[in-house]
Amino acid sequence: MTSVPLLDVFTELRRRDFPIGIREYDDMLRALDNGLAASRAQLVFLCQTLWAKNKAECEEVAEVIERRLPVRPGEPAVRRAVDEAAGMGQGILERGSQALDRMGEKVTRMIPTVRRKAVPGAAQEGGGEPGYSTGPIVLPKMHYKLTRDIDWVGSLPITRRQMKRAWQYYRRMARRGPAVEFDIDGTLARIHREGVLIEPVLVPRRVNRARLLVLADVGGSMVPFRAVVGHLIASAASGNFAATGVYYFHDVPDQAVFATPWLAGPVPLADVCARFSGDGVMIVSDGGAARGNRDPVRVQKTVAVLEKIRAFTSHIAWLNPMPASRWPRSSAEEIRVRSRVPMFPLERTGLDRAVDAMRGMARAV
């Protein structure tokens, strides 16, 4: 089972507002890399274990897997796969409960009754029309104990509060406006020079003159990260900056970028960069790391665009919603190396370092 169909399952769940984030998706990828889902039954059980937290969510995960991952020749039917998954869960939980008896309180969990609609392409067991499977599947009760060390909820890699705190450090302070603040040093210098205090010395207030340009990748492999990227853009727009520009693109910010996430209202990229000449530019994209492949055409185009942006400003940072462990052997890693643009994961530490990079104070990891 590859990461591409798993991404389809993840994307469908996110479209349904299923409570799952990047952390859970990455955990599932690591489980697949370690060979924990060698069959369809094991995949059903593993997805329910890592992603579902109640009866309704278990049922929804099973339904999406059945719709998005059609049965291949030689694989068991979905009904049999779910039954086998229940059997594996029963054996694992029985063995685990013996060890957890000494560790915590007993919790009873009911594995839900999964009722599936007729789905084209599913192998049939028993009577009925070929190519369709129907009927309820009742999984047995399971009793096991939980520990407080298990995180069944998960969370986004960075919260809105942490985003706002990080943006507070993106500052370029300068004195602008009317002279309203008392300048102690200037006043003392005048007293020393004139011998008497005639009037205090006033100076303008220090204000943040930082300007920020955000170029965000949308669509395709960026769909699962729509929520966290939306929070990032909203927190940047509410920052105390002199100016904030947010534009969107798909895969590569080529000749034009767009004013809306629906890729409407094209604006020449050169004009956008000219308005933010010398300011900070943040690019938010997985760079191909979500699919885990290497696209030479995308790499070449992206590196060329980054060189054009560098002609206007050197304060560029790249935020990647995929963890750094997923970059190697992908287009994102090659873009990072060839363009020499500092790239950071979209998490708390990564955003802090990206802000420092736009201030000219940090380098890539």
Spans of all domains in the chain:
3-145, 163-167+209-358, 174-207
What is the fold, at CATH topology level, of the domain defined by 163-167+209-358? Rossmann fold (3.40.50)
Range in 68-77, 98-107, 209-218 the model is least confident about: 98-107
What pLDDT does residue 132 have? 37
Pick the residue with more confidence: 256 or 110? 256
Pick the residue with more confidence: 151 or 281? 281
Q: Tokens representing 289?
A: 């790391």
pLDDT in tens, 298-338: 999 999 999 999 999 999 999 999 999 999 999 999 999 99
Per DSSP, what are the bridge partners of residue 240? none
What percent of the chain is predicted at pLDDT more than 70?
74
Pick the residue with more confidence: 90 or 237? 237
Pick the residue with more confidence: 192 or 229? 229
Nearest Cα to Cα of residue 84 among 43, 127, 115, 51? 43
Pick the residue with more confidence: 31 or 259? 259
pLDDT at 23 over 90: no
Question: Mean pLDDT across the stretch 247-252?
Answer: 94
pLDDT at 169 over 70: yes
pLDDT at 265 over 60: yes
